[in-house]
Each structure stands twice: as C-alpha cells, then as structure tokens.
C-alpha cells in the first residue's frame, strides 16, 4: 500500500463538472488531484459522456459548434495549465468517516481536506441476453464510434430522450434507414431535436414498442420487438442496434456514505453543492437527473469549487491559500 | 516514444503483420472516436515499455476501411493481436492500462 502526500482537494471524475471544478480550484492555487477515471467504450470514462458524442452545438462560446472530445480536451488542458494533476484511474474505495477524507485507487491511498464528487452517469443497457456479448459486434452504446461501420445498412436506435434522437440523426449519415424504437407514445427529447429527427426521411419511429430479444451468433442478426399495448411480437432482421435508453449515476462507491435518492443520484443541499458529509461536495450529472447538460454540469462544478474554497478557508484560515 | 508505434496502411499491412518477430497489437481507430483518443497514450506507453516483446501498430479505419472490413471490425477502438500473421485475439472497446496489460498478458509470454 502506498500513501501519497496530503492534498487540499481531490476531485473524482472528469466530465464538464469535474474539470470546471478543477479549473477553479487549481486557479485558486489549491493544486487539486483529479482522479479522472479509466478509458472505456461502454461505461464512465475520462472526459465523461461528451467523449461519446460528436458535435456540441449549444455550448456557449462555440458559435460553429465543437466536437465533444475536443471540448473536453480543452477543459482538461485549461485545468492542467493552472496546476491540476491527473490520475487516469478509477477511485475504488472511499472513507469519509473521519478527517482527512480518504480515497483509494486500488491499494494506493490519497487523503484530502475536501473531496469533490463529479463521477457523472453512464448509459443504461437493456439487460437482455446476448446484449453484452454482442457489444462491438452489432450492439453499440456509441453511435459516434460505431456508426461508420453501418454504411448502407438498416439499423435500430432504442430510446426516446435527447441522446437517442441525437444518435438516430447522426446515424442517418451512414445508415440507409434508422428506426427508433420507443416504449412510449411520445419522446422525452427536446422539441428542436425531435422536429429535426422526424423531418429526416431516413428516420422512422415505432412507438409503444420494446426490444425483447437480441439474436446473433458471431454478430447481431435480429431483434424481437414487442408492442407494449397489444403484446404482439415480431422480428426485425438488422445488423446494428444502438442503445440509448437513459443513464444511471456512478455512485456505487459512495453507497451508505453519501445520501442518495431512490435512483442513486447524490442529494445536495438546495442552492449549494454540499452533500450530507462536511467537506464533500457533489456536482454534475451525479447529482442532477433533471438538466444533464454540459453547461449545467460545468456551472455546478464551479459551485462545488467555490463551496470547497470557502469550506477550506473557514476550517483552515488562510493556511491553504 | 511515438517511433515505437507503426502506422499501418493497406500497402504495408500484410507485410508488417507477417514479418514481425513479436506478436503485433493493431489498434483500429479514427479521428472522430473519443474512446480511441483516450487509449492512444495508453497504447503508446505500452509500445515503449514492451518494446522487443510486442510490436504496436495503428490503423486508421477512415483511410483503410478495407482492412477494417477484412477483420470484421464493427466498433472502435478494436485491438487485434496477430501472431505469425494470424489474428489470435480481439479486444473490443477502450480500457485502462492495467486492464489492457492484463488482457495482453497471455501474448507477452
């Protein structure tokens, strides 16, 4: 076991929330350690969910739009410029029961006065048999990574929120036809995205329908679709299935320590980033299932950084400044 | 350290894979793929550390889609391990350095 030098601030997670917190905290000369996560195609990862997107059109300051991965690289560079340090691994265990707070990465122990939790959320899967086995063989959670390989093919996107509609629109660049399968009779996605998608001649929608089976040996060959109203089933022969049915917060490591709602999202005190543990702050999608935007995550990351600075000032005078 | 990573093309792919004296790890990637960018530094570190035990190469699927299609790559990043010119293992999806080294361990004997 290795114990590392004590820090003012540890930030766990590196999406827009964590990196904005890192920019602010680093700029206040509090030299944060950012435990940014591990590369992954299907789960949480450094840079967060924007690493799996393409064009971001609504982040202020980018009138021509910006690629998700590029935006995240810029935020990371900005935090690094002010002295944030990065550890490209996952936090595996925490102990917030005494001071200082302790965070482990495998067997290595890190301590800090303040911890900012910005671990975000990851994509939900359908949970069907064969699904995990066929990821990368026709089943995908990343349209931007895999759409390219479905040129001229008919594919299915499952879901009805912003990410499903965005993926469907993106996939029409490659696919001959995109069918959106949604279990309700209307989308949750924003109006502008719905309108754009529904106006696209390559996109069709199957309302009130659910994917109930995934079929394929070496690669995906078909899915079974069940009508949620009549219960009738039919088979669609397709080579590509993109799953975008929603998200789940990455809070397993904080279970029993930080207060969560029924869906596992961290609970923060209204108008602040404070959790139930003094000196532990939360920001971004890990505590927000309502807005879930890069800009709201960044905004809450800024709140967490300011809350953290004030907390440090209050508890340690100016010693850390 | 980048000189340890070979850039593969349609022109040099077969020759590189066949003539290598070590197993070859080929990273299928593209500019527009976020997870591919994440693992690039990991791949380069492994190339440096495992020099002599593993040959590391990258193939841009945008430029050389024919090779990607030949090996049925349907998702990137996909990393395929070749031994004596034969594909012996396929790793689909990004992962951290420790996990990648663990997955490569059987080929580094």
pLDDT digits (tens, 9 = 90+) for A246-299: 889 999 999 999 999 999 999 999 999 999 999 999 999 999 988 889 999 999
CB contact under 8 A, A137 and B92: yes
CA neighbor of B90 nearest in space, from B40, A29, B82: B82
Length of chain B measured in residues = 109
Look at residue A321 in the predicted model and tell me its pLDDT.
38
CB contact under 8 A, B38 and A135: no
**Residue range A295-306: mean pLDDT, rounded:** 98
- Per the DSSP assignment, residues forming a β-bridge with B82 are B24, B87
Look at residue B80 in the predicted model and tell me its pLDDT.
97
pLDDT band of A317, cuts 50, 70, 90: low
| CA–CA dist A74, A70 (Å, integer) | 6
CB contact under 8 A, B34 and A51: yes
Distance in Å, alpha carbon of A106 to nearest chain B alpha carbon? 11
- Per the DSSP assignment, residues forming a β-bridge with B24 are B55, B82
Distance in Å, alpha carbon of B28 to nearest chain A alpha carbon? 11
| CA–CA dist A38, A49 (Å, integer) | 13
Contact B90, B78 (CB under 8 A): yes
pLDDT band of A42, cuts 50, 70, 90: confident
pLDDT digits (tens, 9 = 90+) for A47-99: 998 888 778 888 999 999 998 899 999 999 999 999 999 999 999 999 999 99
Whether A221 has a pLDDT exceeding 70, the answer reads yes
Which of A65-69, A134-138, A142-146, A179-183 reaches the highest mean pLDDT? A179-183
CB contact under 8 A, B35 and A88: no
Whether A169 has a pLDDT exceeding 50, the answer reads yes
pLDDT digits (tens, 9 = 90+) for B56-103: 999 999 999 999 999 999 999 999 999 999 999 999 999 989 899 999
pLDDT band of A41, cuts 50, 70, 90: confident
Whether A225 has a pLDDT exceeding 50, the answer reads yes
| CA–CA dist B74, B61 (Å, integer) | 10
Distance in Å, alpha carbon of B91 to nearest chain A alpha carbon? 9
- Kindly list the residues of chain B whose beta carbon comes within 8 Å of any beta carbon in chain A: 30, 32-39, 42, 61-62, 68, 72-78, 92-99
| CA–CA dist A159, A58 (Å, integer) | 22
- Per the DSSP assignment, residues forming a β-bridge with A162 are none
Report the SS3 class of residue A55.
strand
The pLDDT mean for chain B works out to 93
Domain ranges of chain A: 7-123+247-316, 139-243
Whether the bond into B86 is cis, omega within 30 of 0: no
Tell me if chain B has a CB within 8 Å of the CB of A137: yes
CA neighbor of A121 nearest in space, from A268, A292, A316, A259: A292
Phi/psi region, residue A103 (left: phi>0; alpha: psi -120 to 50; beta: rest), is beta
Look at residue A55 in the predicted model and tell me its pLDDT.
80
Contact A250, A133 (CB under 8 A): no
CB contact under 8 A, A45 and B35: yes
Tell me if chain B has a CB within 8 Å of the CB of A35: no
pLDDT band of A2, cuts 50, 70, 90: confident
Q: ipTM of the predicted structure?
A: 0.74
A window 70-109, beta carbon within 8 A of B: 72-73, 88-90
With both helix axes pointing from N to C terminus, report the angle between A16-27 and A68-81 in degrees, rounded to the nearest 10. Answer: 20
Given the candidates 3.40.50.1820, 3.40.50.300, 3.20.20.150, 3.40.30.10, the CATH classification of the domain at B2-107 is 3.40.30.10
pLDDT digits (tens, 9 = 90+) for A150-162: 999 999 999 999 8
Catalytic residues of A: 142, 145-146
Q: Which among B72, B94, B99 has CB closest to A45?
A: B94
CB contact under 8 A, B95 and A89: no
Concerning whether B33 is annotated as a catalytic residue, the answer is yes
Per-position b or e across A280-290, b if 16+ CB within 10 A of its CB: bbbbbbbbbbe
Look at residue A187 in the predicted model and tell me its pLDDT.
93
Q: For A22-26, A186-190, A252-256, A273-277, which range has the lowest pLDDT when averaged over its residues?
A: A186-190
Where is A72: in which H helix or E strand?
helix A68-81
Whether A40 has a pLDDT exceeding 90, the answer reads no
| CA–CA dist B45, B10 (Å, integer) | 25
Contact A52, A141 (CB under 8 A): yes
Look at residue B29 in the predicted model and tell me its pLDDT.
96
Could you tell me the two tokens for A233? 């089933």
Q: For A26-35, A126-135, A258-267, which range has the lowest pLDDT when averaged over its residues?
A: A126-135
pTM of structure: 0.83
Domain topology for A7-123+247-316: FAD/NAD(P)-binding domain (3.50.50)
Residues of chain A contacting B92 with CB distance shorter than 8 Å: 41, 135-137
How far from chain centre, in Å, is Cα A170?
19
Look at residue A54 in the predicted model and tell me its pLDDT.
76
Tell me if chain B has a CB within 8 Å of the CB of A39: yes
Report the SS3 class of residue A153.
coil
Optimal mutation site among B40, B60, B75, B79, interface A, most CBs of chain A within 10 A:
B75
pLDDT band of B2, cuts 50, 70, 90: low
Instruction: Please name the residues in contact with A77: beta carbons below 8 A apart, sequence gap of 6 or more.
Output: none
The pLDDT mean for chain A works out to 93
* Residue range A139-243, CATH number: 3.50.50.60
């Amino acid at each position: 076991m290795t114990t590392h030098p004590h820090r003012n601030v540890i930030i766990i997670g590196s999406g827009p929330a964590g990196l904005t917190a890192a920019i602010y905290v680093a700029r206040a000369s509090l030299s944060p350690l950012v435990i940014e996560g591990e590369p992954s195609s299907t789960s949480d990862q450094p840079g967060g969910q924007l690493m799996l997107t393409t064009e971001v059109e609504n982040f202020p300051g980018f009138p021509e739009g910006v690629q998700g991965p590029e935006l995240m690289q810029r935020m990371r560079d900005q935090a690094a410029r002010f002295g944030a340090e990065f550890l490209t691994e996952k936090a595996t265990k925490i102990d917030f029961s005494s001071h200082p707070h302790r965070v482990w990465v495998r067997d290595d122990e890190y301590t800090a006065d303040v911890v900012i939790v910005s671990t975000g959320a990851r994509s939900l899967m359908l949970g069907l048999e064969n699904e995990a086995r066929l990821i990368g063989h026709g089943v995908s959670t990343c349209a931007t990574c895999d759409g390219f390989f479905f040129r001229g093919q008919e594919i299915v996107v499952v879901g009805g929120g912003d990410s499903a509609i965005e993926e469907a629109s993106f996939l029409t660049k490659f696919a001959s036809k995109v069918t959106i399968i949604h279990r309700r009779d209307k989308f949750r996605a924003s109006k502008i995205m719905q309108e754009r998608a529904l106006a696209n001649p390559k996109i069709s929608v199957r309302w009130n329908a659910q994917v109930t089976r995934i079929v394929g040996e070496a690669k995906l060959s078909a899915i079974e679709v069940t009508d949620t109203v009549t219960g009738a089933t039919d088979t669609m022969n397709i080579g590509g299935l993109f799953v975008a049915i929603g998200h789940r917060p990455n809070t397993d490591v904080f279970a029993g320590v930080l207060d969560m709602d029924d869906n596992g999202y961290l609970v923060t005190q209204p108008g602040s980033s404070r959790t139930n543990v003094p000196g532990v702050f939360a920001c971004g999608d890990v505590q927000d299932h309502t807005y879930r935007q890069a800009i709201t995550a960044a905004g809450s990351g800024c709140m967490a950084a300011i809350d953290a600075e004030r907390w440090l000032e209050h508890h340690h005078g100016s010693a850390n400044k | 350290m980048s000189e340890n990573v070979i850039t593969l093309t349609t022109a040099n792919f077969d020759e590189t894979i066949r003539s290598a004296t070590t197993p070859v790890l080929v990273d299928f990637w593209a500019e527009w793929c976020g997870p591919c960018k994440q693992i690039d530094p990991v791949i380069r570190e492994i190339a440096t550390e495992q020099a002599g035990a593993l040959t590391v190469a990258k193939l841009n699927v945008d430029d050389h889609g024919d090779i990607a299609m030949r090996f049925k790559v349907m998702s990137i990043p996909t990393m395929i391990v070749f031994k004596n010119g034969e594909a012996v293992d396929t790793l689909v999806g990004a992962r951290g350095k420790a996990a990648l080294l663990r997955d490569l361990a059987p080929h580094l004997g």
